[in-house]
Chains A and B, each alone.
Chain A
Amino acid sequence: MSNAMHNKTLTELKAGLAAGDFSSRELTEHFLARIQQHDGELNSFITVTAEQALAQADAADTALAAGNGGLLTGLPIAHKDIFCTEGVRTSCGSKMLDSFIAPYTATVVEKMAAEGAVMLGKTNMDEFAMGSSNETSYYGPVKNPWNLERVPGGSSGGAAACLGARLAPGATGTDTGGSIRQPAALNNITGLKPTYGRVSRWGMIAFASSLDQAGPMAQSAEDCALMLQAMAGHDHRDSTSLNEKVDDYLGALNNDISGLTIGIPEEFFPDTLDGAIADNSRAAIRELEKLGAKVISVSLPSIKLSVPAYYVIAPAEASSNLSRFDGVRFGHRCDDPKDLEDLYKRSRSEGFGDEVKRRILVGAYALSAGYYDAYYRRAQQVRRLIRDDFARAFEKVDVLMGPTAPETAFKLGAKKDDPVSMYMADVFTIGVNLAGLPALSMPTGFINGLPTGTQVIGNYFREGQILNVAHKYQQATDWHKQAPAFGGDQ
């Protein structure tokens, strides 16, 4: 059973395609059949693009036969439904965009297709990426394949769940406050949020523009390196995309890590933290010490204010970004508007769900006359304090490590009506977004049968180094190879 195609990593599948063990069509049909069979229960996909996938697979087989393969030729990938895909519904998990057929394709999707990737479909997500449990999706919650009564995390919950359940071997995600790393931890997969500006945001529906960043999600760090190699790079269509050289991520995977200095921020192991969560991350750090890494303690004193700063900055940017949904140019429009204001107000109120409305209101309030200095300006000042804390730490260390999430997957519905407790799910991930740093979450063991993850945070543009650290860890351990019973072939 462990030899089944769906249990293989992208790297192994790529080798299998090259060796002619199977064709991309066979591989694609296999994953489409698994989605058909199991996703009714999981709900990890919003749209499955079977016909296009098979056409791309056939083209990939032709390219491979001719020796013209790219980085991802013939490998099935699921895209988060936040990336515009020409001719395919792009809903962003919202009723607002339920009938939106994107007129163009996002750079990330385009770059991966240019390297030969096969798109299986579009994955479920929290509405407009606002959530940490995938319960705010208009298309219903995604279930966690490790326990169907529990959430997969969010907002890239569909991506993480379909990878965990082995319904796809690779998936794209986006991370504004932890939306790649927290669901990666909750589903026992590996996910990387790159440096802000490393991957183009063009065609990625905007939530909080100064924080949003796309990244790879897969079974292993090696697979994330392969995907990032195809995703990263400057894009003149995104003015925040940075014109920095793309490193050789695959080439750096096996670098020796002896002499690496790991910093442990004491704030990531507070007294209130679940002891079992702390133990799993500490055990992962000890494993890296065995491989020659040094460990020192560091402090990020301002990081305790990262959740409050984020919940001003992100809603403020969201309230501005989401003003484009007005019922006029695209998206949901109410019936029989009596005037223009009625058209705006009813279209938006019918099209957006509760959490999105709450964040728009918080953002509009924080930006309104009289409150700007107390909220928005102050949050941006605190953001600099947080960034400066990280900068001081990186004078002494190569990477920082700690738990990705403060708890394992919680029960569906447990936090749905308590936004503030939901926001705390991202307490360890948000600081990285505010600072714009790259960070990866990797599987580091279980608690009562539920996965936990540990975060590896690097300095700006050091994606290669954190992938290297995670790869070395995964060479020495097998947590990342554990798959849930759900969807098994027994």
Chain B
Amino acid sequence: MAIDSKVVAQVAHLARLKVDEADSAALSDRLNDILAMVDQLQQADVADVAPMAHPLDVTQPLREDEVSEPNVRDKALDIAPAAEDGCFLVPRVIE
């Protein structure tokens, strides 16, 4: 399952990262090094082993559906790179 520049470009798009073509070959090499190491996992006998998502197999706690957080819109917008009229500002999405 080797990674080449084409796979790097696909995955980078999924992760919304921009990879310069000049860096792509070197990046593929590093990613292949990592995946080669990770491939040791294929040796493990995992038949009938349930995947483990939490060390103590704890499930998410439930609480009453009540308002617990104050409105912090102004605080949140204060640290936004661009905001206008109480909203985050982004480039035009709909023409």
A-side residues, CB < 8 A to B, are: 100-101, 103, 196-197, 210, 236, 239-240, 242, 302, 304-305, 307-309, 311-312, 319, 323, 326-333, 337-346, 348-349, 352, 357-358, 360-366, 368, 371, 374-375, 377-385, 387, 418-420, 423, 434-437, 460
User: What's the Cα separation between A382 and B39 when bound, in Å?
Assistant: 12
Q: B52 on the interface (CB 8 Å rule)?
A: yes
User: What's the Cα separation between A345 and B16 when bound, in Å?
Assistant: 5
User: What's the Cα separation between A328 and B82 when bound, in Å?
Assistant: 7
Whether B41 contacts A419 by the Cβ 8 Å rule is no
- A-chain residues with CB within 8 Å of residue B8 when the two chains form the complex: 361
Q: How many contacts between A and B, using CB within 8 angstroms?
A: 170
Whether A341 contacts B41 by the Cβ 8 Å rule is no
Q: List 26 A-B contacts (CB under 8 A).
A: A100-B79, A196-B55, A240-B58, A305-B44, A308-B38, A311-B38, A312-B38, A323-B16, A329-B76, A340-B91, A343-B91, A346-B18, A358-B30, A365-B31, A368-B14, A374-B42, A378-B42, A379-B41, A381-B51, A381-B52, A382-B41, A384-B51, A420-B36, A436-B54, A436-B55, A460-B56
User: What's the Cα separation between A88 and B42 when bound, in Å?
Assistant: 46
User: What's the Cα separation between A434 and B41 when bound, in Å?
Assistant: 14
A361 with B52, Cβ < 8 A, contacts A346-B18, A378-B41 known: no
Q: Which of B27-82 contact A (CB under 8 A)?
A: 27, 30-31, 33-44, 46, 49-56, 58, 60-61, 63, 72, 75-76, 78-82
User: Smallest distance from the beta carbon of B80 to chain A beta carbons, Å?
Assistant: 6
User: Smallest distance from the beta carbon of B72 to chain A beta carbons, Å?
Assistant: 7
Whether A364 contacts B58 by the Cβ 8 Å rule is no
User: What's the Cα separation between A101 and B79 when bound, in Å?
Assistant: 7
Whether B15 contacts A382 by the Cβ 8 Å rule is no
- A-chain residues with CB within 8 Å of residue B46 when the two chains form the complex: 378, 381-382, 385
- A-chain residues with CB within 8 Å of residue B51 when the two chains form the complex: 377, 380-381, 383-384
Whether A420 contacts B33 by the Cβ 8 Å rule is yes
Residue of A340, A343, A358 touching B31 (CB-CB under 8 A): A358
User: Smallest distance from the beta carbon of A417 to chain B beta carbons, Å?
Assistant: 8
List 14 additional contacts besides A100-B79, A328-B88; criterion CB under 8 Å: A103-B79, A304-B40, A308-B39, A326-B16, A328-B81, A333-B82, A340-B90, A345-B18, A348-B17, A360-B17, A362-B34, A363-B15, A377-B51, A378-B46
A197 with B31, Cβ < 8 A, contacts A328-B80, A345-B18, A378-B44 known: no
- B-chain residues with CB within 8 Å of residue A348 when the two chains form the complex: 15-18
Whether A329 contacts B80 by the Cβ 8 Å rule is yes
Taking chain B's interface residues, is the majority helix, strand, or loop, or is none over half, making it mixed?
loop
Whether A103 contacts B55 by the Cβ 8 Å rule is no
- B-chain residues with CB within 8 Å of residue A341 when the two chains form the complex: 16
Whether A383 contacts B18 by the Cβ 8 Å rule is no
User: Smallest distance from the beta carbon of B43 to chain A beta carbons, Å?
Assistant: 7
A364 with B72, Cβ < 8 A, contacts A380-B52, A383-B52, A460-B56 known: no
- B-chain residues with CB within 8 Å of residue A337 when the two chains form the complex: 91
9 A-B pairs with least C-beta separation: A436-B55, A380-B51, A333-B81, A384-B52, A381-B46, A349-B18, A344-B16, A364-B15, A345-B18
A196 with B56, Cβ < 8 A, contacts A319-B15, A328-B90 known: yes
User: What's the Cα separation between A329 and B40 when bound, in Å?
Assistant: 39
User: Smallest distance from the beta carbon of A313 to chain B beta carbons, Å?
Assistant: 10
User: What's the Cα separation between A3 and B58 when bound, in Å?
Assistant: 48
User: Smallest distance from the beta carbon of A95 to chain B beta carbons, Å?
Assistant: 14
- B-chain residues with CB within 8 Å of residue A210 when the two chains form the complex: 53-55
Residue of B nearest to A384 (CB): B52
A361 with B37, Cβ < 8 A, contacts A337-B91, A345-B18, A384-B50 known: no
User: What's the Cα separation between A348 and B19 when bound, in Å?
Assistant: 11
Whether A302 contacts B44 by the Cβ 8 Å rule is yes
Whether A103 contacts B91 by the Cβ 8 Å rule is no
Whether B80 contacts A435 by the Cβ 8 Å rule is no
A420 with B55, Cβ < 8 A, contacts A348-B16, A364-B15 known: no
User: What's the Cα separation between A358 and B3 when bound, in Å?
Assistant: 13
A103 with B44, Cβ < 8 A, contacts A197-B56, A339-B91, A360-B15 known: no
Q: B93 on the interface (CB 8 Å rule)?
A: yes
User: What's the Cα separation between A341 and B18 when bound, in Å?
Assistant: 10
Whether A420 contacts B90 by the Cβ 8 Å rule is no
Residue of A nearest to B44 (CB): A382
User: What's the Cα separation between A385 and B33 when bound, in Å?
Assistant: 25
